[in-house]
Amino acid sequence: MNMYAKRVVMALGLGIVFAFVDIYLTGTMNPEVWDTSGPFFWYMFLSRAPIGFFVGLLGVVTQHPLLQFIHMRYLRGIGVGIILSLGLAASAFYDDGTTWGTFWMIVGMGALYGLIIDAVVTHLVGDGKRMLSYEA
């Protein structure tokens, strides 16, 4: 298994772990979250787990594709976490009592999850185009 596949699998695993952490934290305030027959559990799970998958996929990107500058490694995880959290954060406004604080908390947690996943996986596996070569 090459390093790129290890990175994607490890990041996806961490994304699934953080999805359950997020569901647990939300479930302490709203026990209906744990009802797997309802949409809320699956919506939260399917909005958090892909953060790990896409952080893993973007592990080869160490240079901006258009502007050609080298960016800081962990901004990749923060950016992916923010972008993939916007859908869940916007859906929080379905409830009339929701404030902007809830929106920013969801986006902030997504950024934090992306940062942690990218930092751990980059430390353990690495990043960059060298991961694309096969190692037996």
Model pLDDT, residue 131: 73
Outline where the chain has alpha helix (H).
Answer: 3-27, 39-57, 73-91, 100-124
pTM equals 0.85
Strand partners, 63: 70
What are 123's two structure tokens?
């430390």
> Residue 125 in 3-state DSSP?
coil
Most confident of 20-29, 56-65, 86-95, 106-115: 106-115
CA atoms within 13 A on the CB side of 77: 22
Domain locations in the chain as residue ranges: 3-132
Query: Tokens 């009802």 — which residue?
Result: 35
pLDDT tens, residue by residue, 3-56: 888 999 999 999 999 999 988 888 888 777 777 777 888 888 898 899 999 999
